[in-house]
Amino acid sequence: MFTMKLRKASAAAAAAIVLSITATACGGDGDSDSNSGSGGGDKIKIGIKYDQPGLGLKEPGGYSGFDVDVATYVAKELGYEPNQIEWVETKSADRENALARGDVKFIAATYSITDERKQKVDFAGPYLLAHQDLLVKTDSDITEATDLNGKNLCSVQGSTSAQNVKNDFAPKANLKENGTYSECLAGLQSGAVDALTTDDSILAGYAAQEQYKGKFKLAGLKLSNENYGIGVKKGDTETVNKINAALEKMVKEKAWDKAVTDNFGPANYKNEPAPKIGVIVK
Residue pair 69/111 in contact (Cβ under 8 Å)? The answer is no
Residue 233 Cβ, how far from ligand GLU at the closest point, in Å? 17
Is the CB of 84 or the CB of 90 nearer to ligand GLU? 90
Q: Which one of the spans 77-85, 98-106, 154-162, 238-246 is the region binding ligand GLU (CB under 6 A)?
A: 154-162
- Report d(CA 281, CA 113) in Å as an integer: 10
Residue 111 Cβ, how far from ligand GLU at the closest point, in Å? 5
Residue 49 Cβ, how far from ligand GLU at the closest point, in Å? 7
The DSSP letter of residue 20 is H
Is residue 198 part of the contact set for ligand GLU (CB under 6 A)? yes
221 to 240: interface string for ligand GLU, x by CB under 6 A: -----x--------------
Rule CB under 6 A: choose which of 34, 160, 239, 263 binds ligand GLU: 160
The string of DSSP letters for 138-162 reads TT----SGGGGTTSEEEEETT-HHH
Residue 194 Cβ, how far from ligand GLU at the closest point, in Å? 19
Is residue 178 part of the contact set for ligand GLU (CB under 6 A)? no
- Report d(CA 52, CA 5) in Å as an integer: 14
**Partner residues linked to 155 by β-bridges:** 177
Among 120, 79, 87, which residue's Cα sits nearest to residue 103? Answer: 87
Q: Which of residues 132-151 bind ligand GLU (CB under 6 A)?
A: none
Residue 2 Cβ, how far from ligand GLU at the closest point, in Å? 19
Residue pair 171/234 in contact (Cβ under 8 Å)? The answer is no
Is residue 194 part of the contact set for ligand GLU (CB under 6 A)? no
Is residue 63 part of the contact set for ligand GLU (CB under 6 A)? no
- Report d(CA 67, CA 106) in Å as an integer: 12
Q: Which of residues 65-104 bind ligand GLU (CB under 6 A)?
A: 92
H-helix segments, the chain? 6-25, 66-77, 95-101, 115-118, 160-164, 185-190, 200-207, 237-252, 255-264
Is the CB of 70 or the CB of 80 nearer to ligand GLU? 70
Residue 29 Cβ, how far from ligand GLU at the closest point, in Å? 26
- Report d(CA 107, CA 110) in Å as an integer: 9
Contact residues for ligand GLU (CB under 6 A)? 92, 109-112, 156, 159-161, 198-199, 226
